[in-house]
Chains A and B, each alone.
Chain A
């Protein structure tokens, strides 16, 4: 029987939402082969939500405790996961800041390949087949993983978390001796602890049509009206210094797959379209009816964003207050 190791993510002692999505992806691999899912939680002490992971698809929860694991420890996490790999047919991570850093280290330690940023998974003839958007989503690559374990990282918002309702047994996992070549000394959180565009369920992005950096206030207000939306930006306004690079959507920024993407004053350069075309619903607001953004938008409003956006913000607030 083949077991799949699902590498969970926690910050400040609480599991991150992507962990449940990682379990959903691990479940696909396990169920195809009649196998089980082990959730690996690295932490310095108790991690909130670890005992709940059974509900999201874990058969066992392996808790690896080490004082260094209060923060992410690249070498410690990689050594711990690699030590468990011998008894696992596959390893699933998140395509997050942590998973993108950790996955390659585990793969190199084990001498097998790593399929990063996967958006679809299946098992065919015992081999894992993974689909990955490349060229920032302008093409979909399909690869077959022939090594053991098969190691993949999954994009946020592409494997919906499922609640299975089974309890998962919590066990302690051994942490092997490791040399911490890199030490994470701290995390600087922004004052408003902004939602990340790559993980948010709703993204409201602004572009050059806003004319002035101060006018991003309109975007922030619309995002706030939704309650759970992140603020994104086009490359043009990031390069102009209006917004931080962390907000950039597109080929030299982030590729996002939210449930709703609202593009305001963004004409839709090919690099930007590549980065957001997998959003479930796309709304575009632009004065230019011929802007390429309207070719991918489900719903478009042609008009002056300075008139449309405040109205939309009010309407969204009203709709949410009424529901």
Chain B
């Protein structure tokens, strides 16, 4: 079995976002970058599947600048066999990212290509299914439960008020949701081994695409609220405000 994992370097979710001077991107000063949390489920799933199969190969792909090498090394430290950095700048248009990944993955001979369900920076949740479409492969998104047996995939994903069950054949593209597994932490031995694992760097140039970034701004501040009171005695006043002022009750 051969599994690819597509990974993205993103700001840690505790980051306070400050808009950069260009008005289009964030100020990266002091920002800690981590592997996208949903991609870690993809890494874990790849490793667990290969371990269960008793062998195979796992490869991590990451599109980004040189700093993404660190992100790839984190996945290698978790146990992924080798990494490929598609060196270039990203795009507001997920389809351009998908094209670059599809071109790279096309002849890889992968049984499974795994993504996180979304990247916690741009919230596009689209590169996985777009890549699948470009590769003409089946795709199930936001997988929270997975069974792979005899070349067949049975996947469950959360939908509003329920769980959707679907099947497809391998090879397939899956995007991974929280709940699928618990990602392992890199161990010291893994971190040492990761330094010696192969990491290929290949420059890519993305097309212009059809999503043009116009600007980035902080969300409008919420108007200052008020403390209605202390303890259960404040409940009648709260209910009155919800009825007469907020008109939600």
Q: Interface of A with B (CB < 8 Å)? A: 16, 71-72, 74, 78, 96-98, 100-101, 103-105, 107-109, 111-117, 129, 132-147, 181-190, 193-196, 198-199, 202, 226, 244-246, 248, 251-253, 259-260, 269-271, 277-278, 280-283, 289, 294-304, 307-308, 311-312, 315-316, 319-320, 323
Contact = CB atoms under 8 A, between A and B. Distances in A.
Contact of A105 (B16, B17, B123, B133): B133
Interface string B66-103: 00000000000000000000000000111110100000
B166 interface: yes
B149 interface: no
A187 B159 contact: yes
A183 B249 contact: no
B225 A296 contact: yes
18 contacts: A98-B159, A100-B142, A105-B132, A113-B96, A140-B218, A143-B212, A146-B210, A183-B167, A186-B164, A189-B162, A259-B248, A277-B219, A281-B246, A301-B227, A301-B231, A302-B231, A303-B234, A319-B249
Contacts of A269: 14
Contact of A271 (B14, B156, B157, B219): B14
Interface residues of B, number: 87
B193 interface: no
Interface in B159-183: 159-169, 177-179
A116 B232 contact: no
A108 B98 CA distance: 9
A202 B248 contact: yes
B95 A112 contact: yes
Interface stretch (B1-9, B46-54, B235-243): B235-243
Interface in B17-35: 17, 19, 26
B230 A299 contact: no
Contact of B123 (A113, A136, A244, A282): A136
A252 B248 contact: no
Contact of A303 (B13, B128, B213, B230): B230
User: Most chain-A Cβ atoms within 10 A of its Cβ — which of B15, B137, B219?
Assistant: B219
Nearest to B138: A181
Interface string B105-148: 00000000000000011111111111011100111111010000
A116 B222 contact: no
A185 B178 contact: no
Interface string B197-220: 000000000000111111111110
A307 B230 CA distance: 11
Contacts of B164: 71-72, 97, 184, 186-187
Nearest to B131: A108
Contact of B161 (A143, A190, A308, A312): A190
Contacts of B228: 299-301
Contacts of B144: 245
A209 B93 CA distance: 41
B219 A301 contact: no
A226 B165 CA distance: 31
Contacts of A181: 137-139, 168-169
A271 B120 CA distance: 11
A74 B38 CA distance: 22
Nearest to A296: B222
Contacts of B26: 135, 139
Contacts of B226: 298-300
Nearest to A322: B243
Contact of B92 (A129, A140, A143, A198): A143
A116 B17 contact: no
B158 interface: yes
Please give me the 6 A-B residue pairs with the lowest Cβ-Cβ distance, nearest first. Answer: A147-B210, A108-B133, A181-B138, A104-B126, A113-B211, A303-B231
B11 interface: yes
B121 A97 contact: no
Given A281-B242, A303-B230, A315-B235, A74 B162 contact: no
A283 to B, nearest CB: 7
B150 interface: no
Contacts of B217: 139-140, 142
B89 to A, nearest CB: 16
A290 B226 CA distance: 13
Given A108-B133, A115-B211, A252-B178, A320 B249 contact: yes
Given A145-B211, A246-B158, A301 B246 contact: no
Given A114-B211, A251-B13, A308-B234, 20 more contacts: A71-B164, A97-B157, A104-B127, A107-B126, A116-B126, A135-B17, A139-B218, A139-B219, A142-B213, A187-B164, A189-B162, A195-B161, A252-B37, A252-B178, A260-B248, A299-B238, A299-B242, A302-B229, A302-B231, A312-B238
A299 B124 CA distance: 33
A198 to B, nearest CB: 7
Contacts of A108: 95, 98, 129-130, 133-134
